[in-house]
Amino acid sequence: MKATSGDRARQASASSSMSTASRGERSETLGARFFRSRYDYLYVLPALGVMLLVIAYPIYYTIHLSFFSTPPSLAMADKVFAGFDNYVRV
């Protein structure tokens, strides 16, 4: 009987896991992997900051404003706290 590619992949996977376990090696913890690649995360940090500023802050501010009643002139200084009354009407 001819072995299929799926059979070969399973055999390779099983043999590699057995050889790793037999050598007594432990898998790396999440903290160790993070520490090893900490400089990579520092490169991504400015992009995450910009995304928070451009995406998350407007979402937060919109939800915050939804709890207030604003006059027709849209003067933010004259806004009045309405609580959940805006949601009850919807």
Q: 41 with 34: CB under 8 angstroms?
A: yes
- Give the model confidence (pLDDT) of 33-74 as tens digits: 989 999 998 999 999 999 999 999 999 999 998 899 888 887
Q: 89 with 80: CB under 8 angstroms?
A: no
Q: 3-state secondary structure string, 1-43?
A: CCCCHHHHHHHHHHHHHHHHHHHCCCCCCHHHHHHHCHHHHHH
From 55, 50, 51, 75, select the one nearest 65 (Cα to Cα): 75
HSE, CB side, 13 Å, CA atoms: give it for residue 76: 5
- Give the model confidence (pLDDT) of 9-41 as tens digits: 556 555 555 554 455 567 889 999 989 999 998
